[in-house]
């Protein structure tokens, strides 16, 4: 990562001027290790935003219907690449974009499915959704104990397991679902399959962070921008804010602080995964609003704002650009991207699904960092 400054002059009186330092930070081009692009008409918006900012992206498989096997995953990737060809973005970004696919783990997934995925060269991981945990998770696993042969195959073929880490029992408080999953299901899984690579996705609690820290290098975690910048007060105080509603839900400020601490610590177990999830504005802003924050277009300024808020902007490159690639055994990207400490106004919305709109996280707000054109 390189840093430089450029002076800008602003008149403060008729006779004096003050020089303000503008910081530029050039990073290895980052990857997003957890993103939702959706399918169909959604791709014309989401693919352009993702490719403008990231090189590799791990694409979540919870489509309708879900991506359950290698054939479906490769077909989905082909649709993403078709959307990329029509995207109005720089040709260099187009050439750098590399969507990595995942399989949706179900009660009927087999060891042979894992073997085929591993041999495809395009499938990066397998995604575990506990049934009913989040958007389009109805086909998720209902009996982890019955998946032993699949997990053994994943160990054998070194295919990582990506976990939405929440229990779905109706009696468990929504703010405790991640902790309960960590204390029970996740602990047992790691103990039973010690050679299985695991990413605990979009962690939201100090409990999850502590668990990841206590495990071997085979266990890592992604962290979203919203869980670094916000807590449940932002969601609930003064009325429910639908565009802050995501799953796992925002937690207490003390958990937000732990996430900031580990994300900015330089520990390679923690890396960038936006969990950017598009929902049409009218689907978010209703009495039963969808869960998910859309951040793909502004993710890097969001992360830069979070890191700079605790004086750790120098740790951003490792988190955003190095640690995920190292965990997955992939080379670092060759190209770069530059952030500048100049304000940007987040758009109020983007066109979406031809006739609808898509509202990003922090719509209409001003961020202190922006991407240099």
23 is in an annotated binding site: no
Q: How would DSSP label each residue in 23-55?
A: EEEEEEPP-EEEE---SGGGHHHHHHHHHHH-S
62 is in an annotated binding site: yes
User: 17-22 long-range contacts, Cβ below 8 Å, gap at least 24?
Assistant: 22/340, 22/341, 22/342
Distances (CA, A) of 195 to 7, 190, 372: 52, 8, 42
353 is in an annotated binding site: no
- Of 32, 139, 275, 308, the catalytic one is 275
Cross-strand bridge partners of residue 23: 5
24 is in an annotated binding site: no
202 is in an annotated binding site: yes
Residue where the block lists tokens 């190209």: 335
- Angle subtended by helix axes 70-85 and 111-120, to nearest 10: 30
Instruction: Please confirm, yes or no, whether 183 is among the known catalytic residues.
Output: no
34 is in an annotated binding site: yes
Distances (CA, A) of 185 to 121, 134, 212, 217: 30, 17, 14, 19
Tokens of 50: 């993702």
164 is in an annotated binding site: yes
243 is in an annotated binding site: no
Q: Alpha helices of the chain — where are they, by DSSP H? A: 43-53, 70-85, 91-96, 111-120, 148-157, 177-181, 187-192, 206-214, 225-229, 232-236, 253-263, 281-284, 299-309, 316-317, 323-328
How far is it, in rounded angstroms, from Cα 279 to Cα 270? 27
Instruction: Give which of 348, 360, 198, 207 is closest to 279, Cα–Cα.
Output: 360
Instruction: Give which of 345, 325, 335, 338 is closest to 371, Cα–Cα.
Output: 338
110, 151 in Cβ contact below 8 A? no
291 is in an annotated binding site: yes
255 is in an annotated binding site: no
> Cα–Cα–Cα angle for 32, 33, 35, nearest 5°?
70
213 is in an annotated binding site: no
What is the set of active-site residues? 275
Annotated binding site, which residues? 34, 36-38, 62, 127, 164, 202, 247, 275, 279, 291
**Residue ranges for the binding site for substrate?**
36-38, 62, 164, 247, 279, 291
Point out the annotated binding site for Zn(2+). Answer: 34, 36, 127, 164, 202, 275
């Amino acid at each position: 990562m390189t840093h430089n400054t450029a002076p800008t002059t602003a008149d403060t009186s008729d006779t004096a001027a003050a020089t303000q330092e503008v910081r530029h930070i050039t990073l290895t081009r980052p990857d997003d290790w957890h993103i939702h692009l959706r399918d169909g008409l959604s791709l014309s918006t989401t693919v352009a935003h993702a490719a403008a900012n990231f090189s590799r992206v791990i694409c979540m498989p919870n489509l309708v219907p879900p991506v359950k096997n290698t054939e479906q995953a490769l077909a989905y990737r082909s649709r993403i690449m078709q959307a990329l060809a029509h995207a109005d973005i720089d040709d260099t970004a187009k050439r750098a974009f590399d969507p990595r696919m995942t399989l949706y783990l179900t009660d009927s997934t087999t060891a042979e499915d894992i073997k085929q995925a591993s041999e495809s060269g395009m499938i990066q991981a397998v995604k575990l959704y506990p049934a009913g945990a989040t958007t389009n998770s109805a086909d998720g696993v209902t009996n982890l104990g019955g998946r032993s042969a699949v997990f053994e195959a994943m160990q054998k073929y070194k295919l990582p397991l990506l976990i939405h880490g929440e229990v779905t029992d109706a009696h468990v408080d929504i703010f405790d679902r991640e902790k309960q999953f960590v204390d029970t299901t996740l602990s047992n899984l790691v103990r039973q399959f010690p050679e299985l690579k695991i990413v605990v996705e979009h962690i939201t609690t100090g409990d999850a962070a502590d668990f990841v820290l206590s495990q071997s290098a085979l266990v890592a975690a992604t962290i979203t921008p919203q869980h670094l910048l916000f807590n449940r007060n932002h969601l609930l105080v003064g009325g429910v804010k639908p565009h802050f509603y995501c799953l796992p839900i925002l937690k207490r400020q003390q958990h937000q602080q732990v996430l900031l601490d580990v994300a900015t610590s330089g520990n390679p177990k923690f890396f960038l995964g936006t969990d950017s999830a598009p929902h049409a504005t009218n689907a978010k802003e209703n009495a039963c609003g969808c869960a998910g924050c859309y951040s793909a277009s502004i993710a890097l300024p969001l992360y830069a704002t979070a890191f700079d808020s605790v004086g750790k902007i120098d740790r951003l490159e490792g988190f955003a650009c190095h640690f995920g690639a190292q965990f997955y055994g992939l080379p670092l990207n060759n190209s770069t991207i530059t952030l500048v400490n100049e304000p940007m106004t987040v758009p109020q919305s983007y066109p979406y699904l031809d006739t609808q709109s898509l509202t990003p996280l922090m719509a209409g707000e001003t961020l202190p960092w922006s991407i240099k054109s």
